[in-house]
């Protein structure tokens, strides 16, 4: 980590598009940014048509003047590579660089992200423009960090069904399986005479008349994820060659599970993400209408933190918010204005979870083009928008605080992007998604006041955790199985974990394949349930729904919960438990409270709008609700370093622990 960025002091930033405004405005904009208390300014990521208006005609001078202007005002630039927006002349030179939808339609020019990660020609073009930019600006002292492209996967661009993708996939399969027979065996192609005699016979999985083999889809998902990682690495490597000591960042979107962010994050110094709480709440379908109305102007209290914790893990701890919602946005089905104070709250919550930088999107609302209804810190007439004052407040508050670095949480969730692909490929029940399963457990942990880390399934260091969850894991790897076997804390595995081998087949010894005394446990069969159908649990007010497994096998373990129809539902031996179904919110809290108590972890019982985060001896408290709340004396009685024990709507308090 370059020393210059190893900070405990949190800072603010903003996204800025000098090419959108008269050059005469730049200096004043820079002055006002600095005066507001901002430190970082991201620029350049959509500017290819201005940086290279015609092939080979580089026009970098304006960018240098912009960087110089910002730098002169004391700001530090994050320079984006413009590869999310290839210009028209380039697309017209090689139209087969365009991605193709699952329905077979070319996804063309006219907006952004119109390129196929599999296209070798486009990768060469990207290397060319990144090389040119990195040569010119790599050593510029105003450029503190680089961002590769922007929001991989946004607008459903992970998967493309182009000729380039088909060629690439065939080569990838050839390298992976070496012989068509090996592939036929791995995919189970004998099933419906789907056997291939040559890798060149294989089609993309959008071609089949009905459902393709799940292993076929899974390999295409792996292939597609690897293309993005390779695409990013190409840029990161060039930047590192020319910009020593600068952080390389990519800016992730929320809830994009199409590619493996851990895998990609290994090529980054910093993971950043886009936090749009109101847009996410309205756009994502899996919360009830009443909940959506309650948090209409605040966002889901457990979505931002979830991503903060996840992206803190994807690059080894260092993370930013690159785009923070500063007011109403334009892209969700409905776009309400945030309640007063929420922009401040969201910013503080990111810092509580360890963000180094929170950067608002964007400086000035653009009155033209696609995002003209997206608020900025400034209105289109350059007057401050409401978010401006909230950013100013935060800037003042963090300057007065001395927040410690994020510390390890007591609870870990093992997270695995391939599991998301697997259950999207084979949900078995329409409402089964990996994201929803993991997020509902995360929400229950938060209701108990517990702070959470995410741990990558492929690199599972569980040391120090007193409670570990392994939900919905597609397939064991040996390191993870060993880590579970030797974990110091309580470990709750399941549901559906370990239910497939890497070839997407049911292990012949049957799932879940646990270590130790639970090794005798087998999932004899599974069922999925429609909304409204549930399986009551003996002695509990909550119930199971969506998914259930029927366990068989005997051994040295206890049945800790049983359904009312007599099936074992939670089975354990010592610190290891297996959960054989998907619990509703009440049941999940009950199960996790039990596990936390066994682990000796103190828990709270928080209302849906109050959330806390423990880190470095402090407890950060956030009131997402529109009613004031008094912090419970039990557990949240420490001395305030910010705010008081009475939180107004959108209120924030930071207490000393104890």
| Residues with a known catalytic role | 151, 323
Of 61 and 368, nearer to its own copies (C-beta) is: 368
Instruction: Please report how close the Cβ of residue 363 comes to its own copies at its closest, in angstroms.
Output: 14
Instruction: Please report how close the Cβ of residue 580 comes to its own copies at its closest, in angstroms.
Output: 13
Q: Using the rule CB under 8 A, is 381 a contact of its own copies?
A: yes
Q: Which of 34, 94, 132, 208 binds its own copies (CB under 8 A)?
A: 208
Q: Is 60 helix (H, G, I), strand (E, B) or coil?
A: coil
Q: Using the rule CB under 8 A, is 24 a contact of its own copies?
A: no
In three-state form (DSSP H/G/I as H, E/B as E, the rest C), the secondary structure along 529-567 is CCCCCCEEECCCCCEEEEEEEEEECCCCCEEEEEECCCC
Q: Using the rule CB under 8 A, is 53 a contact of its own copies?
A: yes
Instruction: Please report how close the Cβ of residue 374 comes to its own copies at its closest, in angstroms.
Output: 10
Q: Using the rule CB under 8 A, is 435 a contact of its own copies?
A: no
Instruction: Please report how close the Cβ of residue 5 comes to its own copies at its closest, in angstroms.
Output: 29
Nearest to 196 by CA among 184, 204, 185: 184
Q: How far apart are CA 91 and CA 81, in angstroms?
A: 17
Q: Which of 244, 464, 530, 617 binds its own copies (CB under 8 A)?
A: 530
Q: Which of residues 268-327 bind its own copies (CB under 8 A)?
A: 282, 289, 292-293, 296, 327
CB hemisphere CA count around 214 (13 angstroms): 18
Q: How big is the chain by its Cα radius of gyration, in Å?
A: 25
Q: Using the rule CB under 8 A, is 245 a contact of its own copies?
A: no
CB atoms within 10 A of CB 158: 20
Q: Using the rule CB under 8 A, is 57 a contact of its own copies?
A: no
Q: Which of 65, 105, 241, 630 binds its own copies (CB under 8 A)?
A: 105
Of all helices (H) and strands (E), which one includes residue 48?
helix 48-51
Q: Using the rule CB under 8 A, is 46 a contact of its own copies?
A: yes
Instruction: Please report how close the Cβ of residue 210 comes to its own copies at its closest, in angstroms.
Output: 4
Q: Using the rule CB under 8 A, is 88 a contact of its own copies?
A: yes
Q: Which tokens is 528 given?
A: 């999925």
Q: Using the rule CB under 8 A, is 201 a contact of its own copies?
A: yes
CB 485 within 8 A of CB 493: no
Q: Which of 7, 28, 65, 111 binds its own copies (CB under 8 A)?
A: 111
Interacting stretch for its own copies, rule CB under 8 A, among 35-43, 70-78, 445-453, 521-529?
Answer: 521-529
Instruction: Please report how close the Cβ of residue 527 comes to its own copies at its closest, in angstroms.
Output: 4
Q: Is 4 helix (H, G, I), strand (E, B) or coil?
A: helix
Of 87 and 583, nearer to its own copies (C-beta) is: 87
Q: Which of 38, 166, 213, 403 binds its own copies (CB under 8 A)?
A: 213
What are the distances in angstroms from CA 111 to CA 149, 240, 277?
Answer: 15, 29, 24
Instruction: Please report how close the Cβ of residue 187 comes to its own copies at its closest, in angstroms.
Output: 7
CB 417 within 8 A of CB 438: no
Binding mask 383-412 for its own copies (x = CB under 8 A): x-xx--------------------------
Q: Which tokens is 384 given?
A: 């401050």
Q: How far apart are CA 170 and CA 111, in angstroms?
A: 30
Nearest to 628 by CA among 612, 650, 606, 604: 650
Tell me whether residue 446 is annotated as binding. no
Burial (0-12, 13-18, 19+ Cβ within 10 Å), 201? exposed
Q: Using the rule CB under 8 A, is 616 a contact of its own copies?
A: no
Of 53 and 464, nearer to its own copies (C-beta) is: 53
Q: Which of 80, 142, 168, 214 binds its own copies (CB under 8 A)?
A: 214
Q: Which of 2, 108, 555, 628 binds its own copies (CB under 8 A)?
A: 108
Q: Using the rule CB under 8 A, is 19 a contact of its own copies?
A: yes
Burial (0-12, 13-18, 19+ Cβ within 10 Å), 426? middle
Of 72 and 182, nearer to its own copies (C-beta) is: 182
What are the distances in angstroms from CA 216 to CA 20, 171, 245, 501?
Answer: 45, 14, 42, 14
Q: Using the rule CB under 8 A, is 95 a contact of its own copies?
A: no
Interacting stretch for its own copies, rule CB under 8 A, among 133-141, 335-343, 406-414, 577-585?
Answer: 335-343
Of 356 and 549, nearer to its own copies (C-beta) is: 549
Q: Which of 56, 57, 61, 92 binds its own copies (CB under 8 A)?
A: 92
CB 229 within 8 A of CB 259: yes
Strand 535-536 and strand 319-324: pairing?
Answer: unpaired
Q: Which of 7, 207, 538, 627 binds its own copies (CB under 8 A)?
A: 207
Instruction: Please report how close the Cβ of residue 541 comes to its own copies at its closest, in angstroms.
Output: 20
Instruction: Please report how close the Cβ of residue 579 comes to its own copies at its closest, in angstroms.
Output: 18
Q: Which of 50, 240, 266, 287 binds its own copies (CB under 8 A)?
A: 50
DSSP state of 206: T
Of all helices (H) and strands (E), which one includes residue 187?
helix 180-187
Of 4 and 373, nearer to its own copies (C-beta) is: 373
Q: Which of 389, 458, 510, 642 binds its own copies (CB under 8 A)?
A: 510
DSSP state of 154: T
Q: Which of 138, 205, 354, 498 binds its own copies (CB under 8 A)?
A: 205
CB 466 within 8 A of CB 629: no
What are the distances in angstroms from CA 4 to CA 119, 247, 510, 563?
Answer: 37, 10, 52, 56
Tell me whether residue 184 is annotated as binding. no
Q: How far apart are CA 645 and CA 111, in angstroms?
A: 48
Of 224 and 455, nearer to its own copies (C-beta) is: 224
Q: Which of residues 138-197 bind its own copies (CB under 8 A)?
A: 155, 157, 187-197
CB within 8 A of 339, min separation 6: which ones?
297, 298, 626, 649, 650
Instruction: Please report how close the Cβ of residue 623 comes to its own copies at its closest, in angstroms.
Output: 18
Q: Which of residues 337-366 bind its own copies (CB under 8 A)?
A: 337, 365-366
Of all helices (H) and strands (E), which one includes residue 619?
strand 618-623
Q: Using the rule CB under 8 A, is 554 a contact of its own copies?
A: no
Q: Which of 124, 241, 430, 630 binds its own copies (CB under 8 A)?
A: 430
Q: Using the rule CB under 8 A, is 506 a contact of its own copies?
A: yes
Tell me whether residue 331 is annotated as binding. yes
What are the distances in angstroms from CA 187 to CA 401, 504, 632?
Answer: 56, 8, 55
- Which residues on adjacent β-strands are paired with residue 582? 545
* ∠ Cα 309 318 282 (to 5°): 40
Q: Using the rule CB under 8 A, is 255 a contact of its own copies?
A: no
Annotated binding site: 112, 150, 331
* Residues tagged in the binding site annotation for substrate: 112, 150, 331
């Amino acid at each position: 980590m370059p020393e210059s960025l190893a900070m405990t002091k949190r800072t603010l930033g903003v996204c800025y598009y000098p090419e959108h405004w008269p050059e005469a405005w730049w200096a004043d904009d820079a002055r006002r940014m600095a005066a507001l208390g901002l430190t970082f300014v991201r620029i350049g990521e959509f500017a290819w048509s201005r940086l290279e208006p015609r092939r080979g005609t580089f026009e970098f001078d304006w960018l240098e003047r912009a960087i110089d202007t910002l730098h002169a005002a004391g700001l530090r630039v994050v320079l984006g590579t413009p590869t999310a927006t290839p210009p028209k002349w380039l697309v017209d030179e090689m139209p087969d660089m365009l991605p193709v939808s699952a329905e077979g339609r070319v996804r063309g020019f006219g907006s952004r992200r119109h390129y196929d990660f599999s296209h070798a020609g486009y990768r060469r073009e990207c290397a060319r423009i990144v090389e040119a930019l990195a040569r010119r600006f790599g050593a510029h002292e105003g450029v503190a960090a680089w961002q590769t492209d922007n929001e991989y996967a946004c607008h459903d661009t992970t998967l493309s069904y182009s000729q380039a993708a088909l060629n690439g996939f065939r080569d990838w399969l050839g390298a992976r399986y070496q012989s068509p027979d090996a592939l036929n065996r791995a995919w189970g192609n004998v099933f419906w005479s789907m056997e291939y005699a040559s890798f060149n016979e294989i089609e993309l999985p959008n071609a089949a008349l009905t459902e393709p083999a799940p292993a076929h889809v899974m390999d295409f998902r792996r292939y597609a994820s690897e293309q993005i990682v390779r695409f990013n690495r190409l840029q990161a490597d060039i930047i590192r060659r020319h910009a020593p000591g600068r952080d390389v960042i990519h800016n992730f979107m929320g809830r994009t599970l199409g590619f493996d962010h851990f895998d990609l994050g290994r090529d980054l110094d910093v993971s950043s993400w886009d936090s749009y709480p109101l847009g996410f709440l309205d756009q994502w379908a899996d919360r009830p209408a009443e909940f959506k109305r309650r948090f209409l102007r605040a966002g889901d209290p457990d979505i931002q933190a979830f991503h903060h914790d996840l992206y803190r893990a994807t690059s080894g701890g260092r993370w930013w918010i690159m785009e923070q919602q500063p007011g109403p946005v334009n892209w969700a089905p409905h776009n309400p204005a945030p309640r007063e104070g929420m922009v401040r709250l969201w910013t503080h919550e990111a810092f509580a979870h360890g963000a180094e930088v929170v950067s608002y999107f964007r400086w000035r609302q653009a009155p033209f083009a696609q995002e003209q209804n997206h608020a900025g810190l400034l209105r289109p007439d350059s007057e401050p928008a409401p978010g401006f004052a909230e950013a100013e407040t935060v800037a003042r508050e963090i300057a007065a605080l001395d927040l410690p670095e994020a510390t390890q949480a007591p609870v870990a969730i093992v997270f695995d992007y391939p599991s998301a692909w697997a259950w999207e490929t084979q949900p078995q029940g329409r409402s089964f998604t990996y994201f929803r399963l993991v997020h509902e457990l995360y929400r229950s942990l938060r209701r108990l006041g517990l702070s959470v880390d995410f741990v990558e399934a492929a690199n599972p260091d569980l040391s120090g955790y007193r409670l570990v969850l392994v939900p919905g894991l597609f397939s064991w790897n040996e390191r993870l199985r060993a880590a579970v076997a030797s974990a110091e804390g309580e470990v709750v595995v399941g549901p559906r974990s370990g239910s497939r081998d890497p070839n997407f087949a049911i292990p012949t010894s049957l799932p879940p394949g646990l270590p130790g005394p639970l090794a005798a446990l087998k999932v004899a069969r599974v069922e999925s349930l429609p909304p409204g159908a549930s399986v009551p649990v003996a002695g509990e007010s909550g119930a199971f729904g969506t998914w259930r497994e029927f366990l068989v096998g005997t051994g040295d373990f206890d049945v800790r919960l049983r359904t009312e129809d007599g099936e074992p539902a939670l089975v354990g031996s010592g610190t290891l438990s297996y959960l054989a179904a998907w619990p509703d919110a009440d049941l999940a809290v009950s199960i996790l409270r039990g596990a936390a108590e066994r682990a000796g972890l103190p828990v709270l019982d928080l209302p849906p709008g109050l959330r806390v985060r423990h880190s470095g001896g402090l407890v950060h408290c956030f009131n997402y609700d529109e009613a004031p709340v008094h912090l419970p004396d039990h557990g949240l009685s420490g001395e305030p370093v910010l705010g008081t024990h009475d939180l107004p709507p959108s209120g924030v308090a930071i207490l000393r622990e104890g």
